[in-house]
Amino acid sequence: MSVASQDTAIRTGRVTRTLIYVVLILFALFYMLPLYVMVVNSVKPLSEITGGGMMNLPREFTLEPWFKAWSSAQIGVEPTGLSPYFWNSIKMVVPAVAISTVLGALNGYVLTKWRFKYDTIIFGLMLFACFIPFQIVLIPMARMLGLMGLAGTTWGLALVHVVYGIGFTTLYFRNYYAVFPTELIRAAQIDGAGFFQIFWRILLPSSGPIAVVSIIWQFTNIWNDFLFGASFAGADSQPMTVALNNLVQASHGVKEYNVHFAGAILAAMPTLLVYIVAGRYFVRGLMAGSVKG
């Protein structure tokens, strides 16, 4: 993985470099724009927003909308804010991401290092499964969860996310392990190491970057999911996105845009944090994982 930090051998002149910087900065501005709108308007009093000028900096700075979105905004009958739902999301996301990543790693390991007849077809089927439209699984999934006694529970919801996530995690790990030298594994086998020992001692220690990719991908998708969360969660396990939706979509009364934006940023905080903290490893992991093979 040492190649990850390698710089290109291409050399560029001064004018070109300046142009490149200009383009890069312009794009950075484009990407920042919606976030700017959200942040700026989340620290204004409502009267300033409805008065127009959504790009303006706040004349009067206030953190009130943030506190309100977190702890006292109207989500249902009680004005609870988003905080209780935040923990529901955490309780569902952590096991779902962990299980789907572990399964993906094991699947990738089997599909590359313990090949058997038809393994490629199985992998192809798993990959194609990624494309299933979520709209068609809703009703049969509800029936299955009901039969398994998992309807309306955090575990049921986590199961759904694991099921529709393993295609992606398997893809990532399979492509990553495909370039891992098979000789090392054969040597370990000759030394008498078993299936799990090899995985644990040889593959896992070098799986860091691809694990990061898998975790980022799964975390983002599961955290941001609305449809499954709304349909399969119970009253005490509704995730953050459902609460945010209730806050933003309320159809009557004054729309407190500043609170909506503050709530939106709060809801996105964990994923943003994951991207910023793990972002450095992300490119490295992708490089070895999904684009090579």
Partner 1 sequence: MRVLLKTKAAVVAVLMASTTMGAAEDVEVLHWWTSGGEAAALNVLKQDLEGQGIGWTDMPVAGGGGEQAMTVLRARVTAGNAPTAVQGLGFDILDWGNQGSLANLNDVAAKEGWDDVVPDALKSFAKVDGKWVSAPVNVHSTNWVWANKAVLDANGIAVPTSWEEFTAALETLKAAGVTPIAHGGQAWQDATVFDAVAMSVLGPDGYKAAFIDLDEETLGSDGMKEAFDRMAVIRANVDDNFSGRDWNLATAMVINGEAGFQMMGDWAKGEFLNADKVPGEDFLCFRFPGTADQVTFNADQFMMFDQGGAVSAEQAALASAILSPSFQSAFNVVKGSVPARTDVSDADFDACGKQGMKDLAAAAASGNLFGSMAHGHAAPASVKNAIYDVVTAHFNGEYDSETAVEELVDAVSIAK
Partner 2 sequence: MAHTADADFKTRLQNWIPKLVLSPSIAMMLVFVYGFILFSVYLSFTDSRLLPSYGWVGLENYSKLWRLSHWEVSLKNMGIFAGLYIVICTSIGLGLAIFLDQKIRGEGLLRPIYLYPMALSFIVTGTAWKWFLDPGIGLENVMHTWGWESFEFNWIKDRNFAIYTVVLAAVWQTSGFVMAMFLAGLRGIDNEILKAAQMDGASNWNLYRRIIIPQLRPAFLSAFVILSHLAIKTFDLVIALTGGGPGRATELPATFMYSYTFTRNQMGIGAASATIMLMTIAAIMIPYLYSELREKR
- Smallest gap from Cβ 155 to partner 2, in A, equals 14
DSSP one-letter string for 68-124: IIIIIS-SSSS---SHHHHHHHHHHHHHHHHHHHHHHHHHHHHHHHS--TTHHHHHH
89, 240 contact by CB (below 8 A): yes
58, 43 contact by CB (below 8 A): yes
Output 54 or 204, the one with its CB closest to partner 2.
54
287 binds, among partner 1, partner 2, none (CB under 5 to 8 A by kind): partner 2
Output 127 or 142, the one with its CB closest to partner 1.
142
Segment near partner 2 (CB under 8 A), from 67-75, 87-95, 146-154, 273-281?
A: 273-281
Identify residue 198 by its one-letter amino acid code.
Answer: I
81, 110, 170, 215, 284 from 178: Cα distances, Å: 47, 11, 12, 19, 16
Residue 47 found at the interface with partner 2 (CB under 8 A): no
CA separation for the pair 4, 234 (Å, rounded): 45
Segment near partner 2 (CB under 8 A), from 58-66, 82-90, 200-208, 266-274?
A: 266-274
Q: According to CB under 8 A, which one of 54, 236, 273, 279 is a site residue for partner 1? A: 236
Nearest to 104 by CA among 127, 136, 71: 127
Residue 254 found at the interface with partner 2 (CB under 8 A): no
CA separation for the pair 86, 100 (Å, rounded): 21
Token pair belonging to 235: 């009253």
Residue 232 found at the interface with partner 1 (CB under 8 A): yes
Output 154 or 174, the one with its CB closest to partner 2.
174
- Smallest gap from Cβ 188 to partner 1, in A, equals 46
Q: Which residues would be at the binding site for partner 1 (CB under 8 A)?
A: 74-79, 138-139, 141-143, 145-146, 151-152, 227, 230-232, 234-236, 238, 242, 245-247, 249-255
